Chains A and B, each alone.
Chain A
Amino acid sequence: MTATRDALMRLGASTAEAIAKTLDTLCPGQVERGDVSVVNPDTSPFGTIETPAIAVSVNYVDGVTGGNVFVMTATGARRLAATMMGQPFPEDDVDELTVLELSAVAEAANQMMAAAAAAIGVVLGQEVEIAPPETRIFHSPSEAIDAYEPAPHGVRATFRVCDEPCRLVQLVPNAFIVRMTRALDEMGVETLTGHVSQVNGDGMEPGHEHVSLDDALRDIRVRVWAELGRTRVPIGQAPAMPPGTVLELDRKADDPVDLYVNGLRFASGTLVLTEDGEWALRLAEVAGHDGAAQPDTPRDAEGAVS
């Protein structure tokens, strides 16, 4: 796999996972992950969408360039909106969405892309900013094909949400690929080894390379860190802390240290010194295999200092 395809697959996989997690929060139990595929430059990623469809595009405005289009059927969009408002699925067969339903779907796309931008920001090592969402309604695939400026590269991730198909299409300019490839090189990432094939069936457009989301994710290098302890301070105080400030943490010197994998507390252990004089962690307890890994984001979001 070329470096470009590798970067595209990693972009697609990490974005798809961030989006799926946000969807899981917005409509719990109603999200199925599909696959991630690199779009053939000669084929539109919108060629096989089911219509009428609602498409929400969210562009990057700072950090990187490029666009993202989240497309779902009108039925799926109405179901998603209803779920977000705590209501049952609509029973009528109306294709038009109300202003409030459209706004709910746009907000969902906005939150999904914010999560995806955060994931991309981790790879690139900088904050990636997004613009407000733009919503369109398409009555045929050709309308969608004409609606967005073609990009040199594209990656597509599929999902089923509220039992309806939807997809994320990322329109990727060359500059983004250069940045992403460089960042992956700097991180020492190995080549993606998941199964890759040309696909002509299963409802996929011919000429796309695709791997399952699981395979695409398996070889992604993740950030791992050890945490000595935490404390809380009023957020107004945090920016004003001068150098020399001493913060007491919530752990004793000989307490176990927590190991985090991409924000999940995954294990705990004790700090040891290697022969080269570097810190290392000897794991005593691993929480990941039984699903007991705990997400860390809410604590961080409330201002924990670690």
Chain B
Amino acid sequence: MARVLVVDDAAFMRKMLTDTLTSGGHEVVGEAGNGVEAIQRFQELRPELTTLDITMPEKDGLEALREIMAIDPNAKVVMCSALGQEAKVLESIKLGAKDFVVKPFQAERVLDAVGKALGEA
């Protein structure tokens, strides 16, 4: 069970992810609505795991991932992607993301990806 930072520009998705992660026994310690906030919250909270949306205003998920990995090369990040973003997903894995889920996603898939990412420690 982990302390998780949830990053998505849609309040609805943050709620869905928070509900899913909480139901899976995790603690959502913070939320962010864009890449800039994500980096601030990551530095403040130092979560054990971060879920990161790819398409966001201000700074997108890939840029945020790059900066998060620079802050902590051991950061565990799971990307949230929409259909058709295969190239960005692959890029994020190269940058160090542990796994990804594709929207619209099932709760089990989210928990599975989070569990696997945490299990790599």
A-to-B contact residues, CB < 8 Å: 22, 25-26, 81, 84-85, 99-100, 103-104, 106-107, 110-111, 114-115, 117-118, 121, 127-132, 235-236, 238-239, 297, 301
Q: Does B29 contact A (CB under 8 A)?
A: no
B15 touches A100 (CB 8 A): yes
Closest chain B residue, CB of each to CB of A236: B93
Point out the residue from B16, B56, B94, B104 that lies within 8 Å of A132, measured CB to CB: B56
Contacts of A99 in B (CB 8 A): 11
| Given contacts A130-B55, A132-B55, A110 and B93 within 8 Å (CB-CB) | no
Would you call B11 and A100 a contact (CB within 8 A)?
Answer: yes
Point out the residues of chain B lying under 8 angstroms from A107, CB to CB.
Answer: 10, 12-13, 103
With A84-B12, A132-B56 given, is the CB distance from A127 to B104 under 8 Å? no
CB of B45 within 8 A of chain A? no
B102 interfacial contact with A, CB 8 Å: yes
Complex-state Cα separation, A250 to B16, whole angstroms: 36
Q: Give the shortest distance, in Å, between A260 (CB) and chain B (any CB).
A: 16
Inter-chain contact A132/B93, CB cutoff 8 Å: no
* Size category of the binding interface on chain B: 20 to 34
In the complex, chain A residues whose CB is within 8 Å of the CB of B56: 132
B84 in the interface (beta carbon within 8 A): yes
In the complex, the chain B residue whose C-beta lies closest to that of A25 is: B104
B82 contacts A132, C-beta separation under 8 Å: no
| B87 in the interface (beta carbon within 8 A) | yes
Docked-complex contact B12 and A110, CB < 8 angstroms = no
Determine if A110 and B82 form an interchain contact, defined as CB atoms under 8 angstroms apart.
Answer: yes
User: A104 — which chain B residues lie within 8 A by C-beta?
Assistant: 10, 12
Minimum distance in angstroms from A207 CB to a CB of chain B: 33
Q: Which residue, A99, A103, A131, has most C-beta atoms of chain B within 10 A?
A: A103
In the assembled complex, the CB of A108 is this many whole angstroms from the nearest CB of chain B, namely: 9
**Using Cβ atoms and an 8 Å threshold, which residues of chain B touch A121?**
84
For this complex, 14 residue pairs linking A to B, each with C-beta atoms less than 8 Å apart, are A22-B83, A85-B12, A99-B11, A103-B13, A107-B10, A114-B82, A114-B83, A115-B83, A129-B85, A131-B55, A235-B99, A236-B93, A239-B94, A301-B102
Complex Cα gap A57–B15 (Å): 22
Cβ B104 vs Cβ A117 within 8 A: no
- B31 close to chain A: CB less than 8 A: no
Q: Are A127's CB and B87's CB within 8 A?
A: yes
In this assembly, does B73 line the interface, its C-beta being within 8 Å of a C-beta of chain A? no
Given contacts A110-B55, A131-B55, contact A22 B9 (CB under 8 A): no
A127 and B86 contacting across the interface, CB-CB below 8 Å: yes
Q: Does any Cβ of A come within 8 Å of B70's Cβ?
A: no
Bound-state CA distance A9–B67 (Å) is 43
Q: Mark B16-54, 1 if CB is under 8 A from A, else 0.
A: 100000000000000000000000000000000000000
| A132 and B9 in contact, given A236-B93, A239-B90, A239-B93 (Cβ under 8 angstroms) | yes
Contacts of B103 in A (CB 8 A): 107, 111, 114
How far apart are the CA atoms of A105 and B11 in the complex, in Å?
11
Interface residues of B in 84-121 (CB under 8 A from A): 84-87, 90, 93-94, 99-100, 102-104
B11 A103 Cβ-Cβ under 8 A: yes
* Contact flag A103-B10 (CB < 8 Å), given A110-B55, A130-B55, A239-B94: yes
